[in-house]
Each structure stands twice: as structure tokens, then as C-alpha cells.
Amino acid sequence: MQGFYDWYIAKETSSEGSGSTDDDVLRFKPKVLSSKLRRMLIEEYAADAKMNGDLDLQLDFDPYINAQDNAVKVAVRKVTYHDGKCRASVWLVPPVANYDLVNPELTFENGTWVFINFHYPDPETPSDENLIDMLIMLPKKRAIEKAKDAQP
């Protein structure tokens, strides 16, 4: 897992990096994501591209590090294992505060560990606690807004 974050941060902060965290993992390392999470992110980024900057109705942060700006360096500080799943604590390096940025959740699938979700400490709402719930809620919110816009 640390290897993923080392690659990710280096890619995003290098002069050759795209600077866009939206789809670098999907383009360069799609197999680190479960098929469900990969599919949901592909669908979300396709919908985001059609939103014309309406940040309230799209994923407006980097889901892998739970930030809007690129981190300089992150470290996996603690990993727990329970019921076939692994969950980690990812922090900024050096620690600038005593809290996790993100808590990735992984499972062992087809001979390798893959990310199945990303959990976010101190969410504003329960549906903001993890990426899967956000990816489920965003299309619903867009459908509600579209229905409101269609009303006379």
C-alpha cells in the first residue's frame, strides 16, 4: 500500500505528472482498484465531465488522499486486518496534525490486495464517510436537481 501512495504522490507532483488526480489511477494502475470501485469511478468521472463545474454535484476532491491539493508525502502508519479485509491509516509526512487523511480499505482479490473503499475521518454527513457511499449518492443528487430544473 505504501508503494501505491509513493507512486501516486510522485506522479501527481512530478513535472511529468498530469496534475489531475481524477483518472491517473484508472489510466495507469486500474488493477489496484476492485472492479466495483473502478466501474463506479469511471461512471462518476464521465458524469463529472458533463457537469460544467457544478462542484456541489460532483466529486470535488482527491478520493485517494482526501484532499483538494496534492500532498507532498504521505505514509501508511497503521494497518489492521479483520474478516478478510485490511484497513490502513494514511497521514501526511512529516505529521503536521494528529489525524488520518484517509483510511483505505482493501481485500485480497485474484492474488493481490485491491482497494475496495476509502473512508474519510470526520465527515460532514454520514454519506460523506466513504467513497462508495458518495459514488452512490452523487447520481441521486444529480437526478433530483435535474427533475427540479425540468419543472415549470
| 35: phi then psi, degrees, rounded to nearest 5 | -60, -35
Structure confidence by residue, pLDDT tens digits, 127-150: 899 999 999 999 988 888 878 878
In a domain, 151, yes or no: no
Max CA distance (Å), the chain: 54
13 or 38: which leads in pLDDT: 38
In a domain, 20, yes or no: yes
Pick from 27-41, 65-79, 135-149 the range whose average pLDDT is largest. 27-41
From residue 45, how far is each of 40, 71, 124 by CA, in Å? 9, 21, 22
Lowest mean pLDDT among 8-22, 40-54, 89-103: 8-22
Mean pLDDT on 90-98:
77
In a domain, 147, yes or no: no
Instruction: Using the structure block, give the residue that is written with the C-alpha cell 484497513.
Output: 87
The pTM assigned to this predicted structure is 0.87
In a domain, 26, yes or no: yes
Nearest-angstrom CA–CA distance, 105 and 116: 6
In a domain, 75, yes or no: yes
Q: Place 52 in a pLDDT band, splitting at 50, 70 and 90.
A: low
Nearest-angstrom CA–CA distance, 98 and 88: 15
Mean pLDDT on 66-85:
86
Which of 5, 45, 47 minimizes the C-alpha distance to 27?
Answer: 45
- Domain of 80, in residue numbers: 2-141
Mean pLDDT on 90-95:
81
In a domain, 152, yes or no: no
In a domain, 123, yes or no: yes
Query: Given this model, what pLDDT does residue 20 score?
Result: 54
Number of domains in the chain: 1
Q: Place 36 in a pLDDT band, splitting at 50, 70 and 90.
A: very high
| CATH number of the domain within which 45 lies | 3.10.450.50
Q: Place 53 in a pLDDT band, splitting at 50, 70 and 90.
A: low
